[in-house]
């Protein structure tokens, strides 16, 4: 069923899009398969519940690779702002951000999509930010790992993560 999202249960190898593995670093870690970046069109979705105020401390619901280096991406909460960022093959950032004013300890669904360099952040089913400037937004290689709940083991999300999905295309659909 190409184009449909795939779940990432804890420490399970679910399918061909992501290869599971226990992170042991404050978050789950998995390896995106080579097919994820083939056309530089993909989405990552996660449902996150803040343990306190959203973005009160620097935290990551997910990262593809380690943030701030070439061929990576992240969803980051910092100072009340949600950032979806893609670092291209030269480590230049393209970022879409949203200051939602979420209630403390609330649960929200976030989807970050990269459509060949046009990046879009969705919150609770609504497109809230898009960017096509700053860097190319495209990769020359697949990130080494998908980290759920942290940035490669640092800045863990104070809260909980459920319903993680990786989509091998960048077409947002209701229910993602």
3-state secondary structure 113-163: EEECCEEEEEECCEEEEEECCCCCCCCCCCCCCEEECCECCECECCEEEEE
Q: Average pLDDT, whole number, for the chain?
A: 75
Query: Which residue matches tokens 């863990």?
Result: 156
Residue 9's pLDDT band, with cuts at 50, 70 and 90, is very low
Q: In what order do the strands lie in the sheet with 159-167?
A: 6-7, 159-167, 41-50, 107-115, 118-123, 126-131
Alpha-carbon span 73 to 66, nearest angstrom? 8
Structure tokens at 139: 């990769």
Residue 37's pLDDT band, with cuts at 50, 70 and 90, is very low
Contact (Cβ atoms closer than 8 angstroms) between residue 42 and residue 138: no
Alpha-carbon span 105 to 14, nearest angstrom? 29
Most confident of 30-34, 58-62, 166-170: 58-62
Alpha-carbon span 8 to 30, nearest angstrom? 8
- 46 pLDDT exceeds 50? yes
Least confident range of 34-38, 109-113, 150-154, 155-159: 34-38
Residue 119's pLDDT band, with cuts at 50, 70 and 90, is very high
- 176 pLDDT exceeds 60? yes
- 125 pLDDT exceeds 90? yes
Sign, CA dihedral 90-132-124-42, equals negative
pLDDT, position 124: 94
- 10 pLDDT exceeds 60? no
The strand pairing partners of 107, in sequence order, are 49
Residue 51's pLDDT band, with cuts at 50, 70 and 90, is confident
- 1 pLDDT exceeds 70? no
- 22 pLDDT exceeds 60? no
Contact (Cβ atoms closer than 8 angstroms) between residue 101 and residue 110: no
């Amino acid at each position: 069923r190409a184009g449909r999202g795939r779940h990432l249960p804890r420490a399970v190898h679910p399918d061909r899009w992501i290869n599971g593995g226990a992170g042991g670093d404050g978050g789950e870690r998995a390896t995106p398969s080579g097919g994820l970046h083939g056309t530089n069109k993909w989405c990552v979705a996660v449902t996150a519940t803040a343990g306190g105020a959203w973005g009160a401390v620097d935290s990551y619901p997910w990262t593809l690779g380690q943030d701030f280096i070439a061929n990576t991406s992240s969803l980051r909460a910092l100072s009340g702002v949600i950032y979806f960022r893609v670092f291209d093959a030269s480590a230049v950032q393209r970022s879409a951000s949203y200051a939602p004013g979420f209630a403390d300890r609330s649960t929200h669904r976030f989807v970050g999509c990269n459509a060949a360099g046009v990046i879009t952040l969705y919150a609770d089913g609504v497109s809230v930010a898009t960017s096509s400037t700053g860097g190319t937004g495209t990769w020359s290689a697949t990130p080494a790992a998908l980290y759920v709940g942290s940035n490669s083991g640092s800045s863990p999300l104070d809260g909980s993560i459920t319903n993680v999905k990786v989509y091998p295309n960048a077409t947002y659909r209701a229910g993602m």
